Structures are given as structure tokens and as C-alpha cells.
Chain A
Amino acid sequence: MKNKIKVQRAMHDMTQADLAEKIGVSRQTINAMEKNKYVPSTVLSIKIAKLFKVPVEDLFILEDDD
């Protein structure tokens, strides 16, 4: 699964630490998600989408091998 967290974060002018603090996770978690090393839970995905005010489907994109 791909995601556009990094893009959205840049658009909102946030650091990884800012985003992590806003949604209550560690900075490593944000880092791992941006590097596509970790697929977040539904709860976390919706939290991030809500924060950026975009639909979840726009933020997380399925790939062929998913």
C-alpha cells in the first residue's frame, strides 16, 4: 500500500514529530508509514485522514500486490 502522508504533511507544513504528536503516536511510526514499512490500522488511518481533512482513499492507495 502506498500513501501520501509525506505530501500532505508538506502541504500542511508539519514535521514528522508534529504529526506524531497530533495523532498520539511515536515519530518512528510516522517515519515507518512514510517509508511504506508499516501499514497503519484502520483507526490510525482514519485519524490521519481526518486531521488532513481528506478522504481515507485519497491518502492511502492500494497497490497491485495488496
Chain B
Amino acid sequence: MKANYLLPNKYKLFGWILFIIGLIGGIYLVGTDYESDVLNLKVFALYYDGTFFTENSGFFKIIENSIVDELVSIAIIIGGLVVGFSREKVEDEFIYKLRKDSLVWAIIANYIILLLTIIFVYNFTFFDVLVFNMFTPLLFFIIRFNFLKLKSNSNEE
């Protein structure tokens, strides 16, 4: 079974490191209510709606923004993609099936949880749900895939 969208196995470690750094950074950001003044840089915004205090909205603006949350998001997404989509040491059809099944499971689990939170979570708390939901499909996929792999590994002959 040749799945040509997979990265070589050697990227896996790099992916894990990036993913875990991203997750730790993400938890820290959520813990501090996304208030960060570190790394304030001028950035290019495709569309900027201003904040509650400025009227400076419009397309193609150069604005000031702390890029910590951007870096954390990029680390989680790229790290997660690399972890989930790099080859196993022995990549065969069974592993391919586990990966596919985990993806299906992750999407279904993610949207069931999202549905529940849509029904039961309101106002600004729902903003947190939206933030988490950017990463949960990847996270569920990685957890499920590695869980299935460990399970099939554990029962020896």
C-alpha cells in the first residue's frame, strides 16, 4: 500500500517536539487569557476590523500585534500534521487502515462534541470552544491513532 502523501519517518520526532511545544504554549496562552505583549510586531493584515477602541479598519493594513498566539497555533498545526502524516517505521496496509479509521473517528467525535457545546455553552465561553475546535480534530486523530497502534502492539502472541 503506497500512500504518497506521507512524509518520511525521520520527520516524526520533529513533529512531536513542535506539537508538544505548541500545546504547552497553547495551554499557557489560555491560562493567561490570551493577554500577551511579548513579541509585539508590525504585521500585515488581509482584513482588519480594528478593536473596540480604534476605527482603523479595512483591507491590507499594517497593524501591531503580539505574534505569540500565531506562533503557537502554527506550531500545533504543523507539528500535528507532521506527527499524523509521517510514515511509521513499517508502513503497511494495516497501519494505513488504522490511520484512516482514526481520521473518521476524530471527525465524528469532534463534531459530536461541538454539537453538544453549541447546545450547552453560551456567550463568551463559546469563544473558548471555537478556539479549541481549531485544533481538536488533529488532536483527537493523533490520540486515537496512537492509542490503536499501542493497543495492537501490546497483545503479544
Contact = CB atoms under 8 A, between A and B. Distances in A.
B100 to A, nearest CB: 13
A41 B95 CA distance: 13
Nearest to B152: A28
A18 B10 CA distance: 25
Contact of B152 (A20, A24, A32, A44): A32
Interface residues of A, number: 19
Given A15-B157, A16-B157, A35-B155, A28 B149 contact: yes
A34 B155 CA distance: 12
Interface residues of B, number: 15
Contacts, number: 43
Interface string B140-157: 000000000100110111
Contacts of B94: 25-26, 28-29, 32-33, 38, 40
A41 B93 CA distance: 8
Question: 10 closest pairs, A vs B, by CB?
Answer: A29-B94, A26-B90, A25-B92, A28-B152, A41-B93, A29-B92, A38-B94, A16-B157, A32-B152, A26-B92
Given A26-B92, A40-B94, 8 more contacts: A25-B94, A26-B95, A28-B149, A31-B155, A31-B157, A32-B94, A38-B97, A44-B93
